[in-house]
Structure 1
């Protein structure tokens, strides 16, 4: 608990929990703020990590938006490489520029480049990606004689855009800002490990040996 209390987000979580124990609650408690006494140590740690990571997602997106658009284009290629794409070479090719034909980069899935995934990245703050942008991306894929693409944005996709992406012949993956931040955390892209702990438990097999 001493370690968990080092995180301001967890302190807030505990404060809300204590306020619910008979005192006036200044801030309405969220459903996730359950009694701390009802949590096992593993559950408490998981709750704290989830809270910290939720705040980190927002910080990551803020940092990305502060950067020029080309930063996001290169970032998504690095992220896809860390996720295991890129074949044996393990790298991507940045295509973004004035004459990129609507394609910001590509990832080769094999060493010969026979299977390729093209990438489009949009650094949007208050604008959702709609169907026209997805249609333009599909057209760019056809122009490159490709059938696979990943469209990533720092904002979100409209429902019309997602519906269209599901219906076209090309295999499209849409990744919004929240998903992007979560993938960056999961695959250690743009983040570092602050602390690492080993949780141990009783080995019943050890005491059951003759």
Structure 2
């Protein structure tokens, strides 16, 4: 007997959520464990990860996360899980293989929304476990965790108050090493949400515009209005959104006499993750190797 893989918990999770309005994440995991896996040996049920987490509960929670990415479940409010109509249809079929979920359009779109745009990204999601080195597996695991954190972070950004979102952007830029910032008035700000100092002394200023969009793309008109709102004391601006920029907006920013930097949702969560804004370190792993210098004195 062995513990189920995380993808083997998909149907048990959906069955547990069936006919329920919603469940807390932790309560869901416990109910799945007790209903479907209580006959496993106690040593398996109590098995821990190196960081002390229960392995089975951790896998069930990962199963829930993957179902969320593909919209088989939703989070109606913080910490709560609810089955969607799509999840009900999958439950009627009675099976949901991992390959099917990974090829689901909603899952693909969800992953792509925060995927790094580095030119030489390794396709860690498609790693062949049997032929992978231990380092490959570590990198793949970290990639999966990072993607999950970024997708959740982007969702949270899309839910927060628009004014607070503007402040989050200023906090991020401050963490990135820019100088002090000033929040503009919420009425009559002319399309400028904040003013940051490019240097510590405030000799150069950068104007910011933050748009908290769910699906709508930033368009050329938005960029044009932003440029028009910039006063004569600066020619630099940063336009940030939780969504994306359409081609006309990108073209307008590129051709402007001002220097306009565009940051979309994927780049935004990359920066927040890198500079620890809105996230915190959960676990630190140490990987050790033999110190050959230690044995030089033999």
Bin for the TM-score computed over the shorter chain: 0.7 to 0.9
Which residue among 22, 25, 46 is the counterpart of 2:139? 46
Indicate whether 1:175 and 2:268 are aligned. Answer: no
Q: CA deviation at 1:159?
A: 1.5
Judge which range, 29-38 or 171-180, deviates more: 29-38
> When the two structures are superposed, what TM-score results if normalisation uses the length of structure 1?
0.81
Aligned length: 194
Q: Which runs of 5+ in 2 are unaligned?
A: 1-47, 67-95, 104-122
Between the aligned partners of 1:117 and 1:96, the Cα distance in structure 2 is 16
Which residue in 1 is equivalent to 2:203?
114
**Residue among 178, 193, 202 paired with 2:290:** 202
| Other-structure match for 1:99 | 188
| Structure with larger RCO (C-alpha < 8 A, sep 6+) | 1
In structure 2, the residue corresponding to 1:160 is in which secondary structure? Answer: helix
Matched ranges for 1:50-199 at <5 A: 50-86=143-179, 91-141=180-230, 143-199=231-287
Contact 2:238–2:262 under 8 Å retained in 1? yes
- Is 1:26–2:115 an aligned residue pair? no
SS of residue paired to 1:180? helix
Q: Render the CA deviation track for 1:30-72: whole Å, top value 9, x for unaligned.
A: 7733222322223212211211121222211221222211011
The 1:209/1:160 distance shift into structure 2, 3 A limit, reads farther
Q: TM-score, normalised by structure 2?
A: 0.59
Larger Rg: 2
